[in-house]
Structure 1
Amino acid sequence: MYSMLSATRIRMFLLLFWIGIFSYQAEPWLLLQEYAGFTLLGILGAVLANATGAGGGVVFVPFFNQLDFNVAASVATSFAIQCCGMTAGAITWWAYYRKMHLTDHSEKNYWQSLSRVICLTVPASIIGVWMVQLQPQFFVSFSDPQSLHAGFGIFSILLSIAIFCSALLLNKPQLSVHLTHADCAALVLIAWVGGGITAWLSIGVGELLAVYLIIRGFNVTFAIAAAVMLSAFTVWGGVIFHLWVTHAIYWPVVLFAGAGAIIGGILAKQLVLFFSPKNLKLFFAGWVFILGVVTLPF
Structure 2
Amino acid sequence: MPIKIPDKLPATDILRGENIFVMSEARASSQEIRPLKVLLLNLMPKKIETETQFLRLLSNSPLQVDVELLRIDNRPTKNTPTEHLDTFYRQFEMVKDRNFDGLIVTGAPLGLVQFEDVLYWEEIQTIMNWAKEHVTSTLFVCWAAQAGLKLLYDLPKRTRKEKLSGVYWHRTHDCHNPILRGFDDSFLAPHSRYADFSPEYLAEHTDLDILATSDQAGVYLAATKDKRNVFVTGHPEYDVDTLHNEYTRDVGEGMEPQVPVNYYPDNNPENPPIGSWRSHGHLLFSNWLNYCVYQQTPYDLDKFSEANFTKGE
Question: TM-score over 0.5 for the alignment?
Answer: no
More strand by share: 2
Question: Which of structures 1 and 2 has the larger relative contact order (alpha carbons within 8 angstroms, sep 6+)?
Answer: 1
More helix by share: 1
